[in-house]
Structure 1
Amino acid sequence: MQTKPAIWVKWVLAMMLIVGGLVTTTAVTPPTLAHATTVYVTRTGKHYFYKRHDRGLNRAKKVYAVSLKTAKQRGLTLSATEKAPAKRRTVKRVTRKKVTRKRTAKKVTARAAVKPQGTYTVGAKTYHVKVINHNHPGFSRATLSTKHGAWQTYGNLDGYNRATAANALLNRKLMPKGQRQVLSVNPTAWHNKRIKTGWLYNRCHLIGYQLTGQNNNLKNLITGTRQLNDPGMTTYENKVAAYLKASPKHYVRYRVTPVFKGHELLARGVKMQMQSIGSNRIRYNVYLPNTQRGMKLNYANGLSQVAR
């Protein structure tokens, strides 16, 4: 007759065969669902679990780690608290071809820099300016020095009482603080009249009043069309004024020369040269023609008539 301990041993062995070689564990780190080959079961449960700590195993006293194949052979099914592991999706990497974009030149506006060559239109009005030497003013190093501060000089009138040239090293200190007075002197070829767009001529400062405060100075005045004065010269003067106002340390070398032909009293145009010191924020060398659209000018004396 077998003893009770022997019967108990046989019963344990029988249970182990039923479980199918279950291995008790509580420290197994579950693999990711996409690669699960191990599942978790209880001794008497009807389901298997992919996650060791699934809520369906919370009340189990013992949890066994077995292969998925073994669990299915025992007739166990996946617990309703879990979903079957999703298949790993293979994502194809798309290599983007590098696209080389052609740079498109920006359209020049009244506030942008002047084109380095050719002519352009200032603002919304048609007024063509000729750019000289790719906008290099060509000043000597000596006249670009700020050692002695700002200065301004005006050439003497020539034998026909025509203005010659105006030079300056501009700085905020030279800019006027008071209100501008009305101009009362007349430069050569001053034969003004009304046309469709307003007055034909302006008393044009070689160096604008806003830059130096010079006003009734015949050495700094010529007879110029409204078109030459504005938008022509005013466009550049405003650029320089804005630059000077930005800092008391800003300087601009500046020269304006009227261009006369022979003994003519009305200038054919003006040459403007300017260069900011220590930078190229301001750098121009341009020729502005003294013309007015729709008008024919007599450059010998300043008389005019409507163009036909």
Structure 2
Amino acid sequence: MKKFIISILIVIISGAVAYKGDVIPSFGESDQPIYISEKSELASLEPDYNNQVVVINKNKAEFTEKDLSLAKGSWQNFSPLDYLNRVGVANAMLSKEMMPTEEREPLYVNPSGWRNKKVPTGWLYNRCHLIGFQLTGENNNLKNLITGTRSLNNPAMLLYENKVANYIKQTKNHVRYQVKPIFKGSELVARGVQMMAKSIENDQLEFNIYIFNIEPGVDINYSTGESSL
């Protein structure tokens, strides 16, 4: 299998930075790329806490022509839970019609590895949607939730979800979307998530990234979800 280059990008985010409109977060490029031969190796990448977002395949989505077809209109699909009650890949063909009009109700179901506790910055974990509520209105669905750190959920995943949502609202076009949790072995907490998106009617939107499920200053036991400072 051909090797491809993953360029690590540094997300420059401070507490005062907010996502506005179609603004993309600022990034800086690391000194050296990481080479991997298989996607499974994403689970084995050692995270640098200054480099939470990794760009895959030069940010080009890896959908096939069939994946990008509008023959079935708008849809979403979630993988069944595995024997450890872990989620799998979530796929969708997003459109404006799928976006919710009602307010989101509180989350109350617990994904695998949910061992939440307070850390200096607040609660360590969020119940992270694979396909964000703002995109399809899917909420308390265990097939769409992982145990994710505060920084994984917001700002990291939210920045890319907002980019997709803003594009759809502005153009009324479709977006092929996929979010894949990356687990290592039989661990209950994902090491990270891979997010891919590509606009259908034009080429204005496309990304292929991996986000580490980490929190600065916290040591996470991915096998159980327990943590220590």
TM range (shorter): 0.7 to 0.9
Native 8 Å contact 1:268 1:299 kept in 2: yes
Q: Is 1:117 equivalent to 2:7 in the alignment?
A: yes
SS in 1 for 2:216: coil
Native 8 Å contact 1:259 1:269 kept in 2: yes
Q: Is 1:273 equivalent to 2:193 in the alignment?
A: no
Native 8 Å contact 2:8 2:51 kept in 1: no
The residue that corresponds to 1:300 in the other structure is: 223
Structure index of larger Rg: 1
RMSD: 1.4
SS in 2 for 1:144: coil
Structure 1 residues 271 and 122: alpha-carbon distance in aligned structure 2, compared to 1, 3 A threshold: farther
The residue that corresponds to 1:286 in the other structure is: 209
Q: Is 1:162 equivalent to 2:96 in the alignment?
A: no
In structure 1, what is the Cα distance between the partners aligned to 2:52 and 2:66?
32
Structure with the larger RCO, 1 or 2 (CA within 8 Å, 6+ apart): 2
Structure 1 residues 278 and 117: alpha-carbon distance in aligned structure 2, compared to 1, 3 A threshold: farther
After superposition, give the CA deviation of every residue in 1:55-102 in whole Å (9 maximum; x if it has no partner). Answer: xxxxxxxxxxxxxxxxxxxxxxxxxxxxxxxxxxxxxxxxxxxxxxxx
SS in 2 for 1:253: strand
SS in 2 for 1:168: strand
Q: 1:144 is aligned with what amino acid?
A: L
Tell me, which stretches of 5 or more residues in structure 2 are unaligned? 1-5, 16-49
SS in 2 for 1:143: coil
Native 8 Å contact 1:122 1:231 kept in 2: no
The residue that corresponds to 1:182 in the other structure is: 106
The residue that corresponds to 2:74 in the other structure is: 150
Q: CA deviation at 1:148?
A: 2.6
Structure 1 residues 192 and 138: alpha-carbon distance in aligned structure 2, compared to 1, 3 A threshold: same
Matches within 5 A, 1:129-144: 129-144=53-68
Structure 1 residues 277 and 228: alpha-carbon distance in aligned structure 2, compared to 1, 3 A threshold: same
Native 8 Å contact 1:127 1:232 kept in 2: no
Query: Which stretch of the first structure deviates more once superposed, 250-259 or 120-129?
Result: 120-129
In structure 1, what is the Cα distance between the partners aligned to 2:112 and 2:72?
34
Structure 1 residues 261 and 289: alpha-carbon distance in aligned structure 2, compared to 1, 3 A threshold: same
SS in 1 for 2:204: coil
Aligned residues: 190
Q: CA deviation at 1:117?
A: 3.3
In structure 1, what is the Cα distance between the partners aligned to 2:7 and 2:187?
29
SS in 2 for 1:241: helix
Q: Is 1:244 equivalent to 2:132 in the alignment?
A: no
The residue that corresponds to 2:19 in the other structure is: none
In structure 2, what is the Cα distance between the partners aligned to 1:220 and 1:231?
19
SS in 1 for 2:67: helix
After superposition, give the CA deviation of every residue in 1:11-34 in whole Å (9 maximum; x if it has no partner). Answer: xxxxxxxxxxxxxxxxxxxxxxxx
SS in 1 for 2:162: helix
In structure 2, what is the Cα distance between the partners aligned to 1:287 and 1:279?
24
Tell me, which stretches of 5 or more residues in structure 1 are unaligned? 1-115
Determine which structure has the larger strand proportion and give its number: 2
Q: 2:140 is aligned with what amino acid?
A: N
After superposition, give the CA deviation of every residue in 1:3-52 in whole Å (9 maximum; x if it has no partner). Answer: xxxxxxxxxxxxxxxxxxxxxxxxxxxxxxxxxxxxxxxxxxxxxxxxxx
SS in 1 for 2:116: coil
Q: 1:277 is aligned with what amino acid?
A: I
The residue that corresponds to 2:127 in the other structure is: 203
Native 8 Å contact 1:267 1:299 kept in 2: yes
After superposition, give the CA deviation of every residue in 1:268-306 in whole Å (9 maximum; x if it has no partner). Answer: 000101111132321111110000001000000000000
In structure 1, what is the Cα distance between the partners aligned to 2:7 and 2:171?
30
The residue that corresponds to 2:20 in the other structure is: none
In structure 2, what is the Cα distance between the partners aligned to 1:202 and 1:118?
24
Q: CA deviation at 1:122?
A: 4.5
SS in 1 for 2:211: strand
Q: CA deviation at 1:127?
A: 5.3
